[in-house]
Amino acid sequence: MKIVIDKKKCCGSGECVKVCPHSALTLVGGKAVVDEARCDLDGLCIPACPHGAIHFEE
């Protein structure tokens, strides 16, 4: 399982960056990027995204 960000939907609002308790999300070139080594898959960023750009993927 991993967190995936749909680059087409991400608008770079940074809402996910604010909620991630592990500092696993950063904005690179105006798009959210996940550091999988830091992500603990709590899923907090999924509902935080106003554009539904974040989801789990097997």
Task: Summarize as ranges the residues that interact with ligand SF4 (CB under 6 A).
Answer: 3, 19-20, 22, 24-25, 34, 39-45
Cα–Cα distance between 13 and 40 in angstroms, integer?
22
Which one, 11 or 46, has the nearer CB to ligand SF4?
46
Rounded to a whole number of angstroms, the minimum distance from the CB of residue 29 to ligand SF4 is: 18
Residue 4's beta-bridge partner residues?
55
Query: Where are the extended beta strands (E) located within the chain?
Result: 2-5, 25-28, 31-34, 54-57
Mapped onto helix, strand or coil, the DSSP state of residue 18 is: helix
Rounded to a whole number of angstroms, the minimum distance from the CB of residue 9 to ligand SF4 is: 15
Which one, 30 or 41, has the nearer CB to ligand SF4?
41
